[in-house]
Structure 1
Amino acid sequence: MSIYGFARGVVKSILTPLFRVEIIGKENIPKDAGVIVCSNHISNFDPPVVGMTFPRPVYFMAKAELFKVPGLKTLLPKIYAFPVKRGLSDRDALRKGISILKEGGALGLFPEGSRSKDGKLGKGMAGVGFFALRSNAVIVPCAVIGPYKPFKKLQVVYGKPIDVTEMRKERVSSEEVTEVVMKEIGLLLDKYQ
């Protein structure tokens, strides 16, 4: 078993009963194509929760500073995290993300960029659109709903995949793709909250 598989199993065995995690819409997740999973961001627990509920390994960007911490710099790549320099156009991180998608992998993104302080969905950044327009990946919107309080129910809802083929042909902007994704996440929040 890989370190990713082991870590995922440990996280799942702790967080699933602690937060009474319920998964909705798992059937919406493509089994083998490149996929960008885009979630709202309400807690530091979001990456492990999305990672443990998504049926395929998910690669996440993590702030570059974490890769300087002893122990973490060895562990993070083994659990499919890769560094991104925040506030900059990090070409290495962008190339890595595109490469993951072109190889049929799953890339996890939080389009808001940082956690929402009030739990409301914020504005998405153009990165989602960038990755979608430069790969053949579909986008799976995801809504994490709940208070992250012990033994209160937490829902992880996966919506229907967004195919951006037509948007690519129409040469829409990265921002426009991101707006579509944020709207879909918002609809999931409205429906299940």
Structure 2
Amino acid sequence: MLYGLGKLICSIIFKPLFLIKVIGAENVPKKGPVIICSNHISNLDPPVVGITCPRQIHFMAKDELFQKKAIGWLLRNIQAFPVKRGMKDRQALRDGLDVLKNNHTLGLFPEGTRSTTGELKQGLAGAGFFALRSNAVVIPCAVIGEYKAFKRVKVVYGKPVNLEQLREEKASAQEVVDQIMADIKKLIDSHKANVTKA
């Protein structure tokens, strides 16, 4: 209930403010486990991806946010869960797998932190771990544009990442996330040039 209310409020505020245009939302499966992997350019990315995705997303968020009483309460009540950065957080890995086992949608920013330049950074192996340890469909997502009032932001959902061969070859988690990041880069490159157009 709180997630739905938050999505409504954020939609009312952000969609007209940033002229948000959504492309490819139909690529997100309606059922079954899904991993949404997006680039990360701003603290506004999670709510913007959340309001544009047709499914409720269980986001993995940095542990520091959960230490703040009000924010921590809010995050837990919209089904987010903490991850300790800079170390192997087994509980976060279990929590993420549980989301997928229950046929829900897991939201990840594989870069691990915001890109201060806007350029796509190398992804961390965590996203590859979840892809290999589940049968989830991985959807690349690109947030394109500047979060400035009345300047368009595009959120593009791509076709599922083709992981069949990588899974058969028992590829490493890093090899898998490299493929995911390559697909995100393709989305950025193909839509960035005309981001200001309707």
Partner of 2:196: none
Aligned pair 1:158/2:157, yes or no?
A: yes
Aligned pair 1:19/2:47, yes or no?
A: no
Unaligned runs of 5+ in 1: none
- Partner deviation per Cα, 1:116-174 (whole Å, 9 max, x = no partner): 11111111111111000000101100110001100011000000012423322210110
- Aligned mates of 2:131, 2:49 — CA distance in 1: 19
Partner of 1:111: 110
Report the Cα offset of residue 73 of structure 1.
Answer: 2.4
Aligned pair 1:33/2:45, yes or no?
A: no
Q: Secondary structure at the match of 1:71?
A: helix
For 1:101, the aligned partner's letter is L
Higher mean Cα deviation, 159-168 or 136-145?
159-168
Q: Is 1:138–1:162's contact at 8 Å kept on the other side of the alignment?
A: yes
Partner of 1:6: 5
Partner of 1:84: 83
- Aligned mates of 1:96, 1:187 — CA distance in 2: 30
- Aligned mates of 2:101, 2:29 — CA distance in 1: 14
Q: Is 1:21–1:156's contact at 8 Å kept on the other side of the alignment?
A: yes
- Partner deviation per Cα, 1:74-125 (whole Å, 9 max, x = no partner): 2211112111111110000000001101111111111111111111111111
Root mean square deviation of aligned Cα: 0.9
- Aligned mates of 1:100, 1:169 — CA distance in 2: 24
- Aligned mates of 2:116, 2:163 — CA distance in 1: 30
- Partner deviation per Cα, 1:36-69 (whole Å, 9 max, x = no partner): 1011110000000001100000011111122121
Q: Is 1:130–1:174's contact at 8 Å kept on the other side of the alignment?
A: yes
- Partner deviation per Cα, 1:10-47 (whole Å, 9 max, x = no partner): 01110000000000001111111111101111000000
Q: Secondary structure at the match of 2:69?
A: coil
After TM superposition, list the pairs within 5 Å mapping 1:1-193 onto structure 2.
2-193=1-192
Q: Secondary structure at the match of 1:139?
A: strand
Q: TM-score with structure 2 length normalisation? A: 0.94
- Aligned mates of 1:178, 1:167 — CA distance in 2: 11
Q: Secondary structure at the match of 1:23?
A: strand
For 1:48, the aligned partner's letter is P
Q: Is 1:138–1:163's contact at 8 Å kept on the other side of the alignment?
A: no
- Aligned mates of 1:107, 1:177 — CA distance in 2: 16
Count of residue correspondences = 192
Q: Secondary structure at the match of 1:100?
A: helix
Q: TM-score with structure 1 length normalisation? A: 0.97
